[in-house]
Structure 1
Amino acid sequence: MTAPNELAERFGTPSFVYDLDRVARARDDLFAALPAEFEVFYAAKANPHPELLNELRTGGCRAEISSVGELDAVLQAGFAGEQILYTGPGKTTEELTEALTRGVRLFSTESLGDLRRVGETALRLGVTADCLIRVNNATGAAATSIRMTGVPSQFGFDSETLPDLAADLREVPGTNIAGLHFFPLSNAKDEASLIAEFRHTIAMAAGLQKALGVTFRLVDIGGGFAAPYAVQGERPVYGTLRAALGETLDEHFPGWRDGAPRIACESGRYLVADSGTLLTTVVNVKDSRGQRYLVLDAGINTFGGMSGLGRIMPVNVEPHESVGTDGTPASLAGPLCTPGDLLARNVFLPSEAGDLLTVPNAGSYGPTASLLMFLGRPAPAEVVVRADTVVSVSRIQHIRTYEHGQAL
């Protein structure tokens, strides 16, 4: 890949650099870790950049979306409607109308009301929607990872209530119950935890198939594939997952190898996180009452809009080249007029304005997960490379449009 300092000189900072070769490597590693019969949905929320979407599509991924904006992105990247799974707890009639009109037929539904809204919209358009029932498991198997279920939530049907809803679910006009959708885990700590959770999910799915009296055509067992995020580290390669999944599915769904049911999983950060590097420059160095601040041109408007939720900070920021330091710990502040614009505290870095710093593993949850419009600062450049070739350079622009009245 072209050296970061050369890219920074050409395109400025802050900027994200995405390496398509690393996207392809992650995609191939994930497919190799799964049984050959598996389908893989890419969660577009991780990074909806069109070049990354296209790379994943051409390598066999399908798309998982949860808005009409993401629908636009994946269709423009070449995905067909039948390759898309539409998810989310707040699907409006208007969104559903647009999705169905543009060819989407597969939806994950979170509640009986959500299922009925999908059915009503499909009936009005003269089509039938295939619906997955998203399940909020009451129990799980992995004890050391980020749990996504087992608590009250806007996501999914509580697993313990589903058997009593069986008749209601089967009788919603405009829909076919195609199967189940699970997402019990995020960023599994290790392969053993991931396997344990998938085994638990598959057993749960088999029990629910019997309880609901429906022959499933598709079971999406979710994700949980790990990847370092804005810190140093290597994306894991799973060596025993394929055999473990095959063994468990043979036990609970004997016809799965022939597509009865089809089995899918989904991933976001695993597929794109290690493809990205954030380039940022030290703008100013400030000492205040015994605390040093390195003020960067990248803050939570560029990377880390979810930091207030504890999702990002602290990042690992490093000098592009080996530069001496006076040993003074510093907080890394962004350029925004808020004390919340901090990316890290007590880090040892060079203290000269103009230094180029890099944030590794920054290919997921970057610009589109950040406070891009806050204070009106320009969005970072997004540079896509393959080997030493720059494929594209783009920047998100926000344009106000008027539905009533006119511009001054």
Structure 2
Amino acid sequence: MIGHTELAKRFGTPSYVYDLDRVRAARRDLLAALPDEVHLFYAAKANPHPDVLREMRGDGGRGCRAEISSVGELAAVLTAGFSGADILYTGPGKTAEELTEALAKGVRLFSVESPGDLRRVGEAAGRLGVTADCLLRVNSVSASTATSIRMTGVPSQFGFDSETLADLREKVSDVPGTTIAGLHFFPLSNAADEASLIAEFRHTIEKAAELQEQLGIRFRFVDIGGGFSAPYAAGGERPVYGELREALAATLDTHFPRWRDGGPRIALESGRYLVGDSGTLLVGVVNIKESRGRRFVILDGGINTFGGMSGLGRILPVSVLPNESAPGAGDPAMLVGPLCTPGDVLGRDVVLADPAPGDLLTIPNAGAYGVTASLLMFLGRPAPTEVVVRGPDVVSASRIDHIRTYAYGQAPR
């Protein structure tokens, strides 16, 4: 791959570099860890760059389908070559206008979070004279493990509470414009290890079979979620799962004996695992400042460039180029961006060796939740450049621009 220093000189900083070879490797590794009959959805919110989306779709081999939560993502995945039949539309705030547009573009599979959400999907489908297949998203009351980032078991805008779903059978089974195709789960994110991931999937599959009996509906489709782990803005390698394939198949054989023949079709989903290690963020040092005993390294990109996890107080390890100082050499510093807010912090007590204006810092494993998860418009600074590479070649270099569209009145002259 082209060196980061060369790319920074050519395209400037801040810049993201996405390596499509690593995207392909992650897709290949995850699909290999799943039974061949299983569908895999790529969560477009992780990185909706057009080149990344096209790589996820695949080129004739086994590829991903698309999971989206907005008409913006709908447009992006359709442009990348996905069809409406490839798409699962999710999210708790789907408006009538969004649903109409999605259905008109051929989307037929929707995850619904509540009776009201289900009715809105049905009303939109009815206006167009079509029927939407709906997956009831489940907020399970219990889980197999307390590790990782829990997504269920608490009051939430996401999903039907599992303990009340059977009581809603009549409300959900006969909504005009819809059919209940199955269930959608997403119980955790970033599983601590493969054993935890397998245990959670086993628990989810057992719960899906239990709910099928309680509801009296033969499911055609069950999405059991994700939870695949990958380092985020830190050193390390994403895991390759060696036990998952057999464990999933055995559990599905027990609870859904006809799953291999599509009774029901089984799906999983992933975002960060598939793109996280493909991306590197390049930022430049603008200034060094001392204040009351603390050193501040001021960068040309902050939470306007990489804001997806900044609110969690993540400390982002970096390496300094071109002198490539060894980690641990030097003194701790605050890494801050260029915005006029004290919240613009990328890292606390990050050890750097004698940083100076003009140095290049790289943040690894930054391919997910980067540009579109950041405060792009704050202070009107330009978006970072996104450079896509494959091997020694630059595939594309682009930047998102913000354009104000007037619904009333005229632009000032």
Letter in 1 for 2:374: S
Q: Which residue of 1 aligns with 2:23?
A: 23
* Matched residue SS, 1:132: strand
Distance in 1 between the 2:131 and 2:224 partners? Answer: 24
Report Cα offsets for 1:235-285 as digits up to 9, x if no partner: 000000000001100000000011110000000000000000000111100
Q: How well do the aligned residues superpose, as a CA RMSD in angstroms? A: 1.1
Report Cα offsets for 1:196-238 as digits up to 9, x if no partner: 0000000000000011111100000000000000000100000
What pairs up with 1:187-336 in 2 under 5 angstroms? 187-308=190-311, 310=312, 313-320=314-321, 321-323=323-325, 327-336=330-339
Establish whether residue 169 from structure 1 lines up as the match of residue 172 from structure 2. yes
Superposition deviation, residue 326 in structure 1: 7.6
Distance in 2 between the 1:287 and 1:23 partners? Answer: 40
Superposition deviation, residue 143 in structure 1: 1.9
* Matched residue SS, 1:131: strand
Establish whether residue 184 from structure 1 lines up as the match of residue 187 from structure 2. yes
* Matched residue SS, 1:348: strand
Aligned sequence identity (%): 72
Do the aligned residues in 2 keep the contact of 1:304 with 1:313 (CA within 8 Å)?
no
Letter in 1 for 2:381: R
Superposition deviation, residue 329 in structure 1: 1.5
Q: Which residue of 1 aligns with 2:43?
A: 43
Do the aligned residues in 1 keep the contact of 2:136 with 2:159 (CA within 8 Å)?
yes
Superposition deviation, residue 322 in structure 1: 2.3
Q: Which residue of 1 aligns with 2:12?
A: 12
Distance in 2 between the 1:257 and 1:329 partners? Answer: 55
Letter in 2 for 1:259: G
* Matched residue SS, 1:189: coil
What pairs up with 1:92-107 in 2 under 5 angstroms? 92-107=95-110
Distance in 2 between the 1:326 and 1:55 partners? Answer: 39
What pairs up with 1:31-110 in 2 under 5 angstroms? 31-58=31-58, 59-110=62-113
Establish whether residue 338 from structure 1 lines up as the match of residue 341 from structure 2. yes
Distance in 2 between the 1:326 and 1:119 partners? Answer: 61
Report Cα offsets for 1:100-119 as digits up to 9, x if no partner: 01110000000000001100
Distance in 2 between the 1:288 and 1:381 partners? Answer: 31
More moved, 101-110 vs 297-306: 297-306
Report Cα offsets for 1:13-63 as digits up to 9, x if no partner: 000000000000000000000011100000000000000000000151000
Letter in 1 for 2:362: T
What pairs up with 1:332-371 in 2 under 5 angstroms? 332-349=335-352, 350-371=354-375
Distance in 2 between the 1:313 and 1:376 partners? Answer: 25
Q: Which residue of 2 aligns with 1:113?
A: 116
Structure 2: gaps spanning 5 or more residues: none
Distance in 2 between the 1:116 and 1:332 partners? Answer: 48
Superposition deviation, residue 348 in structure 1: 1.4
Superposition deviation, residue 346 in structure 1: 1.1
Letter in 2 for 1:17: V
Task: Give the TM-score of the pair, scaled to structure 2.
Answer: 0.97
Report Cα offsets for 1:52-108 as digits up to 9, x if no partner: 000000151000000000001000000000000000000000000000011100000
Q: Which residue of 2 aligns with 1:150?
A: 153
* Matched residue SS, 1:361: coil
Structure 1: gaps spanning 5 or more residues: none
Q: Which residue of 1 aligns with 2:392?
A: 388
Do the aligned residues in 2 keep the contact of 1:273 with 1:362 (CA within 8 Å)?
yes
> CA distance change for structure 1 residues 340 and 258 in 2, over 3 Å: closer, same or farther?
same
Do the aligned residues in 2 keep the contact of 1:27 with 1:271 (CA within 8 Å)?
yes
Superposition deviation, residue 365 in structure 1: 0.2
Superposition deviation, residue 306 in structure 1: 4.1
Superposition deviation, residue 305 in structure 1: 4.3
Distance in 2 between the 1:329 and 1:42 partners? Answer: 38
Distance in 1 between the 2:348 and 2:124 partners? Answer: 50
Do the aligned residues in 1 keep the contact of 2:316 with 2:350 (CA within 8 Å)?
no
Aligned length: 406
Do the aligned residues in 2 keep the contact of 1:143 with 1:193 (CA within 8 Å)?
no
Runs of 4+ off more than 4 Å: none
Distance in 1 between the 2:114 and 2:36 partners? Answer: 32
What pairs up with 1:129-140 in 2 under 5 angstroms? 129-140=132-143
Distance in 1 between the 2:81 and 2:309 partners? Answer: 29
Do the aligned residues in 2 keep the contact of 1:132 with 1:181 (CA within 8 Å)?
yes
